[in-house]
Structures are given as structure tokens and as C-alpha cells.
Structure 1
Amino acid sequence: MPNILIVEDDAKIAQLESDYLEINGYETAIVSDGSLVIAELRKKKYDLVLLDIMLPGCSGYDICRQIRDEIDIPILMVTARTEAVDVIRGLGLGADDYITKPFDPSQLVARVRSHLKRYARLTKDRNKNREESERIIIQDLVIEPKTWKVFKGERELKLPNREFELLCFLAENPNIVFSKEALFEKIWGFDYVSDAATVSVHINRLREKIEDDSRNPQIIETVWGAGYRLNG
């Protein structure tokens, strides 16, 4: 039975989330203080995190960054903020999706189910389809699909699940231009609830990590009016 960690300081909202998820076959635990989240994730295995942005102790943005530095798990942000900059910031830090308050509990359950299925599919594909692939080398960048690792020179880079999937796909198909829509369909799939603009956020995050100068990218190039191309 999938186990969901709910990080929410509003007791009524947290209980509502917990009740609907448990009715639909999930186990849940609730943490109300942001400073306790990482310790809880280290203590017990969870399958997904429902993460509120506004929290005492530590903001949801900071928690998202910390989770991504050490734990591979889907993160669904729950926020009352609807401004594009807040959404982009959350996605840029590694959140997989977001849902705004007030929300329909059935929609929340559907989002959780969708991301758990997607993550299971990604994990299965990673273990099955890349068993034979050892490494891909692009300039000073080394990608190891089998071990799910990326190195920039001697330094290992920490990439969230979808950043790694996106980089791997482009690296396995060098010098081919892919539109944002094509990349979105390939990496996120039709059941994802966001849109192709998500691709741009992840491309920018990748460039910050793998390029010598993210403002003048040499590895992942923008082909204006067409999409993106990885120069192999």
C-alpha cells in the first residue's frame, strides 16, 4: 500500500487530505513543522510527498530543495499561491506538480495516483531499458543511465527524476531537434496535468547544472521556433 507523507500546518486541510487518501487505499502520515520533514523521510520509506509551501520552521521551497538533494521521490506541492513565478519556482526546485487551494479532494487523489503510476513506470523503464547502457560522454559531461548518475568533470550532479530523464533522452538522441510538446509527451506523458511550458523550466535547470555558462549553452541548444537539440 503506497505511503504518502502530508506536510501541512493547517490541521483541517491535513486531515481532509489524509481522509480522502486513506479512503482510496493509501497510508498517510502528517507533519506540520517544516523542519521535521527530512528527518521523517530518513526514518521511514514514503512513496510521495504532499508539500505545502507556507510552513512554520522551514518553507516548502527549502524543503523541496533538501529532498531533491538526497531522496528520489515524487513531490506534489500544495499552495494557495497561483502566481506563475511561484509555480515556476516550485517546479524549478524539483517539484513534480502543484495543486492550488481550495482544491477538490477527488482531484487531489487523482493527481497522487497519476504521479505514483508515472514514477513506477519511470523506475521500471530505467531498470529494464537501460541495463545495457554503461555511459554517455558529451564534452566533460558523463551520464551513466544504469546507475542513474551524472558527472560534470569530477563532480557528481544531483538531478531530480525528470531532469535526468530529459537529459538522458536528449543524450540518447543527439543532434535531433525536439519541440517542447514532443519532449513533454515523451518525458511526462499524456496523464500529466501541467503543460509543455514545464519543459522550459527543466531545460533551464539542466543548463544551470551542466553548462559552463548557462546563458550561452553549448550542450543543450535552443533552436528558435523549433525546440531544443543536444549537441553530441
Structure 2
Amino acid sequence: MAAFEQPNILIVEDDSDIASMLTDLLKSHGFGAWSVGNGRDMDRLLTRQKFDLVILDAMLPGEDGFSICMRLRASRSLPILMLTARREDVDRILGLELGADDYVTKPFNSRELLARIRSILRRASLAHKPGDVIGPLTFAGWCIDPSSRKLVDADGDEVSMTTAEFDLLWAFCCNPNKILTREQLLSMTHAGAAGPVERSIDAHISRIRQKIEPNLKDPVFIKTVRLGGYLFAAFVEKTK
């Protein structure tokens, strides 16, 4: 997405009043906004229009938002912000574990929602901006490239990552064998903007482990440090 392009956002929300309010809010702040009421209509629109973010309601008729989130994440790197009236932590963590980049509960503050949207888009846009980056970097046969924002395994296959997952793994690779607290990781990956709750770091790390660890019961790369945070126990070097 070039700097002058208007970010396009797809709203998947079956409540017509909320969908209309969100559409008006986003358009009034310089975003392109489309809304649909279910996963079937979302799929049709995604084949015709390019979007930079999906705002996905968790409770939808037919296929629910959690199922849609998991399906989208399996096939696309499109950022996802989940929206729901359910405030239980288990739902929030489930959404993040299924691949959502952030999670907002209803009723929501419009300014907070916009801040979270901008934070997600800013992180996703790093793939299109020149930056003062170190990489690509390698560890144990893996290669992570901040310019293309791709993670490639030892066989040369690309592994799908959400923006939050990629940012966390990159932060680890830039700070190998150092204990990083959840607060530090949150700061590194969200630049101090309104991001997911601290506990979401655990959910994202759980997903990263599922993708890179040989044995989930005994992680060799991302180590949990009791009362400390996490440590990336790998030898990291620049590619030649």
C-alpha cells in the first residue's frame, strides 16, 4: 500500500446499525469502508476487492467469526481485528490464538478503535517501507526477512504469519538470548500505541511456537522465564 493510498477496510458485522456506524466512522477518518453481514458475502467481496484490514464480529449467523478468522488466517496474511460483545478473557484469547491481530469488545470507544486500527495498519505497512533494518536473519535453518516480512523454513517453504506474530519473532531474533518481559515485547511490537492486552503476548507466542518449535511440550527456541518473560534461545546471524 503506497503512502498516498486510502486503506480499505472490510467490516463483517450482522448488526446493521453497528455496521453503518462503523462504516461512517471509518469513512470520516479517511478510510475506505465496505460492510457485509456474513462469511459467505465476505468471501465473494474478497475475490473482487483488495482490503488492508478486516473487522470481524465474533458472533455471526451461520459460520461464526472464530471459524472465519481461522479460515482467513490459513490462506491469507490479511490483518484481522475481532469485534464482539462477549467480554470474557477466554474469548479474547481464543480469537488471538486463532490468528486475530487484535480484539475489541462492544461497546467500544471510537478513538480507541481507530487507534488500534492504525496500529495494525502501521505494523502491516512495514512490508512496503524502507527502514533501518538488520535482516534478513537466520536461526537453525529458518530465515526471517523484515523487508518482505516472510518467514521461511529449512526446506525453503514460507510459513504464514500474522503481523503481530512476525513482529514478535523479529523482536526475538534481534534480541537473542536476552530475557524480554511482556511489557518490553508489547512496546517493541506496538511502538507504544494502543495494542492488545498484555496477556495477548502469551497467545501470540503460543501460535509462533506451533509454527517453529520441533516439540511444543519442550520448546527449544522460545523459552518461558518464570516471573521474567521470555528468552529466545537460538544462535541468530545475518544472511550472507
Q: What TM-score range do you get, normalising by the shorter chain?
A: 0.7 to 0.9
Equivalents in 1 of 2:87, 2:182: separation in Å? 23
Gaps of 5+ in 1: none
- In the other structure, the counterpart of 1:178 is 180
Written as runs of structure 1 = structure 2, the 5 A alignment for 1:1-232 is: 1-120=6-125, 122-124=126-128, 127-130=130-133, 133-138=135-140, 140-154=141-155, 155-232=157-234
Decide whether aligned partners of structure 1 residues 114 and 210 sit closer, same or farther in structure 2, where only a CA change above 3 A counts. closer
Equivalents in 1 of 2:21, 2:147: separation in Å? 40
Is the Cα–Cα contact under 8 Å of residues 82 and 95 in structure 2 kept in the other structure? yes
Aligned-pair CA distance for 1:21? 1.8
Is the Cα–Cα contact under 8 Å of residues 20 and 106 in structure 1 kept in the other structure? no
Number of aligned positions between the proteins = 228
Equivalents in 2 of 1:58, 1:113: separation in Å? 27
Equivalents in 2 of 1:106, 1:220: separation in Å? 35
Equivalents in 2 of 1:182, 1:129: separation in Å? 20
Tell me: higher relative CO, structure 1 or 2? Use CA pairs within 8 A at least 6 residues apart: 2
Decide whether aligned partners of structure 1 residues 55 and 186 sit closer, same or farther in structure 2, where only a CA change above 3 A counts. same
**RMSD value, Cα:** 2.2
Structure 1 residue matching 2:55: 3-state secondary structure: strand
Report the more deviating stretch, 60-69 or 159-168.
Answer: 60-69
Is the Cα–Cα contact under 8 Å of residues 38 and 66 in structure 1 kept in the other structure? no
Q: Percent identity?
A: 39
Equivalents in 2 of 1:97, 1:135: separation in Å? 27
Aligned-pair CA distance for 1:219? 1.0
Report the more deviating stretch, 175-184 or 20-29.
Answer: 20-29
Scaled by the length of structure 1, what TM-score is found? 0.87
Decide whether aligned partners of structure 1 residues 141 and 5 sit closer, same or farther in structure 2, where only a CA change above 3 A counts. same
Gaps of 5+ in 2: 1-5, 235-240
Equivalents in 1 of 2:38, 2:112: separation in Å? 25
Equivalents in 2 of 1:104, 1:143: separation in Å? 36
Equivalents in 1 of 2:31, 2:148: separation in Å? 30
Cα-to-partner distance string for 1:23-71 (whole Å, 9 max, x where unaligned): 2222211111212323322321112211101112322112212222333
Decide whether aligned partners of structure 1 residues 59 and 222 sit closer, same or farther in structure 2, where only a CA change above 3 A counts. same
Equivalents in 2 of 1:167, 1:193: separation in Å? 17
Aligned-pair CA distance for 1:135? 4.1
Equivalents in 2 of 1:111, 1:173: separation in Å? 26
Aligned-pair CA distance for 1:11? 1.2
